[in-house]
A and B are shown apart, each in its own frame.
Chain A
């Protein structure tokens, strides 16, 4: 677990995730942050307890008369699988939290990054829905071009740190940007910064050059 996390997932987004109604891109950022942050894990589990209460309060509607027999038959037909041991993280000290690994592999060193200018590299990850989720690699001391967003952006720091007009964000911290935030994240000296960022809409760049390239690099 990462200590000293000071910037968390907003409670309403955690609630949507616990309810099972958050898009996949944002869910990936939430799952990674919760893996690192016990504060947000407690919030998520409390929200799930509300789900338990909502389930208990459901009316007892009609089910198929033979439903129990049908389920017992499914249970008998299914092979008895050996009980799964606790999922173990192969590389617990790695940069990528466990939920990220099915999307991006085990390590940033094994990935095919794409350059997007100013030394910054990105990798767009596959996910369902109109949202986009990407990994960003910002060299120590470098800046991501000035930009704002069409919708909400969640940026989780996985390695290093960056600062922008709002605050400093270290490992495990999440910055929540919205359409009003025009910012220029600058990676701290000393270590390259790796972030996981999910956006509702595309990014809007202030200067002309990245905008010209935008259709080609799908930022």
Chain B
């Protein structure tokens, strides 16, 4: 399969949200649907269950595309949260209490610089995970497949999460400031 340009996924989601763009959805689907199904199978779904849950999750991606914010998270991270909630709901029948949502982008205009920063962070994070010793990488993956209890999860100190966290803190500080100014 041809490697697609990296920033395409956020653009695809915006095109789905704004223009109900089926061609953009098809591109996104070809990339993510097999990965979502693989993730769901590793979370305990049989192949037919994972196929069904994947199709439901990808339907949700279309329906909720307008809630994607490219200045907050990458497309892969946003789709991950939808697949994660689907495995809880479909396989574990567990309710997931969600934190209060924030009006993340109060200006309603896209922030291209933030979008680039988000994508760069995501690429750095992937590279960092790829270069981890195999045992550490496996531990990170197992946490996401539900194979570890919370007391067994070691925080991944080797990963460059500091930049992610400080960007988010800055954005949250600005947001809180705007919220109290209103």
Chain A contact residues, CB within 8 Å of chain B: 1, 11-13, 15-16, 19-24, 26-28, 30-32, 34-35, 38-39, 41-46, 48-64, 67-68, 70-72, 74-75, 78, 81, 83-84, 86-87, 89, 97-100, 102-103, 127-129, 152
* A12:B155 contact, CB within 8 angstroms: yes
Main secondary structure of the interface of B (DSSP, over half): helix
Residue in chain A with minimal CB distance to B67: A84
* B144:A63 contact, CB within 8 angstroms: no
Q: Which residues of B contact A34 (CB under 8 A)?
A: 99
Shortest Cβ gap from B101 to chain A (Å):
5
13 A-B pairs whose Cβ atoms sit less than 8 Å apart in the complex: A16-B149, A19-B146, A20-B96, A21-B144, A38-B172, A50-B140, A53-B125, A55-B35, A58-B34, A58-B36, A59-B35, A70-B55, A75-B63
* A24:B95 contact, CB within 8 angstroms: yes
* B97:A58 contact, CB within 8 angstroms: no
Interface residue range, chain B: 35 or more
Chain B contact residues, CB within 8 Å of chain A: 1, 22, 25-26, 29-30, 32-39, 41-43, 51, 54-56, 58-59, 62-63, 66-67, 72-74, 76-81, 83-85, 87-88, 93-101, 103, 121-122, 125-126, 129-130, 140-141, 143-144, 146, 148-151, 153-156, 159, 161, 164-166, 168-169, 172-173, 176
